[in-house]
Amino acid sequence: MMYNNIIQEYMQHFFISKNNIEGNMVRIGGTDFKHIKNVLRMKIGEEILISDDDTASYICEIIEFDDTEVVAKIVPKEAIDRELPVEIWVFQGLPKSDKMETIIQKSVELGAFAIVPVVTNRTIVKINKDKEAKKTKRWQTISESAAKQSMRNKIPKVYEPISFEEAIKIAADFDVRLIPYENEEGFEYTRKVLSNIKYNSKIAIFIGPEGGFEESEIIKAKSLDILPITLGKRILRTETAALTLLSMLIYNLEN
């Protein structure tokens, strides 16, 4: 079957472990097997997209159903790489209501490697430790769904909320660390910083919650060589800022 590297939007997408790939054969079990067989009612000969949650995706043709697994064959052997040539971590100040869900969904679509919710001085949301794991699990489900929809090779991890101090410690050894700040001026500097980012860099972007970062947090970030940048003359909502910066990075770095 000829394949011209154009993946149909309606192609079903599934993530599996590398251990389930043997040569050019793929085995899919568990809930994905039930979804393929009982919900989608797919047939032998139909094609699906498989990602190994690392760097590769494959078009596969279903060749067999048994009691517990779907067996598929990789059609073109060449891997399809849909990841950015950099690793972008979004350290997102926790917003109110369900804004975090939107931020996660769109950040994954735009290529973020990981999303870390951060409690800052101006965070309004109260963290309930008893419900934290359940909330993070839901966020991870949203990440997986967005990764499937956008045909990513990997599912970005969503971490449990941490403090701003913990966040800047985690990013200490990153190659590039950026913090958009509404009082920062000079878009030419932003252009220069983004254009100098090299492939294979590990990038941290820090986004404030509603109300942004306090000046003391910006001073702390500057002392650790986290670069304040402007995203333009307009004041952006927290749910817009990360997506704007991710879009700028894509423009500069996408192959």
pLDDT in the model for residue 9: 47
Structural domains in the chain?
13-74 (2.40.240.20), 87-253 (3.40.1280.10)
Give me the pLDDT at residue 59, please. Answer: 86
Angle subtended by helix axes 99-109 and 238-253, to nearest 10: 0
Q: What is the reported pLDDT for 8?
A: 45
What is the per-residue pLDDT for 7? 45
Per-residue pLDDT at 158: 97
State the Cα–Cα distance between residues 102 and 9, nearest whole angstrom.
Answer: 21
pTM, two decimal places:
0.79
- At residue 27, the pLDDT reads 93
Confidence at residue 77, expressed as pLDDT on a 0 to 100 scale: 57
Which pLDDT score is estimated for 5?
44
Say which residue the tokens 């993530």 belong to: 15
pLDDT in tens, 83-134: 899 999 999 999 988 999 999 999 999 999 999 999 999 998 887 777 888 9
- What local confidence, expressed as pLDDT, does residue 10 receive? 55
Q: Which amino acid is at 58?
A: Y
Spatial distance between the Cα atoms of 110 and 150, rounded to a whole number of angstroms = 9
pLDDT (0 to 100) of residue 221:
94
Identify the segments of the chain with pLDDT beneath 70: 1-10, 53-55, 77-80
